[in-house]
Structure 1
Amino acid sequence: MYIIAIAWIYVALMAAVGAESIVGGIMTFSGFIFPLALILWLGGSRARRRRRAEKEALEDQPVTPPEDSPPSR
C-alpha cells in the first residue's frame, strides 16, 4: 500500500510543479495529499485497533518473576 502512496505523492508533486503560480502549486499539492492522508489513516485503523488490544492484554497480565532466577534479597 505504501508504494501506491509514494507514487501518488510523486504525481501530486509533478502536478504542483506544473501549476502556473506558487500558490496554485501549493493548493494543488495539498488537494492531492489530504485525500491520500485520509485514505492511509482509514486503512490503518484496523492495525491501530489490534495494537491497542494487544497492549491492553499485556497490561492485564500479572507480572511474575521467572522461576529459575535466584530470590531477591
Structure 2
Amino acid sequence: MYLVALAWAYVALLMAAAEALSPQGTLLGAFVTLMLYGVLPLGLLLYILGTPGRRRRRRAAELAAEGDAGGHPPTGPAEGLAAEREEA
C-alpha cells in the first residue's frame, strides 16, 4: 500500500516540477498541481485505508482499559487451559 502511495507522490512531485520549470508554467500552478494531484488524494487514500488499523487499535485500547478497571490483569486462553490440566 505504501509503495503505491510513494510512487504516486513521486509522480505528483515531478508533475509539479514540470509545471514550475515550464516556460508557460507558474509557481502557483505547480502548487495547485501538487495539492490537487498529490497531497489531497494521498491524504484521503491513506486515511481510508488506515481505518481498519485505527479501529483495531481503538478496540484493543478499550479491552485493555476494561481489564485494568477490575483490578485484575486480562487473562488469555493459555492461562485458563493450563489451570484445568490434571495429572494422570
More helix by share: 2
Per-residue CA deviation, residues 25-48 of structure 1 (Å, 9 max, x unaligned), is 000000012011101100100110
Output aligned runs, 1:46-61, within 5 Å. Answer: 46-61=52-67
Larger Rg: 2
Give the AA of the match of 2:11. V
Aligned residues: 65
TM-score when normalising by structure 2:
0.69
| Residue equivalent to 1:43 | 49
Determine whether 1:29 maps to 2:34.
yes
| TM-score, with structure 1 as normaliser | 0.82
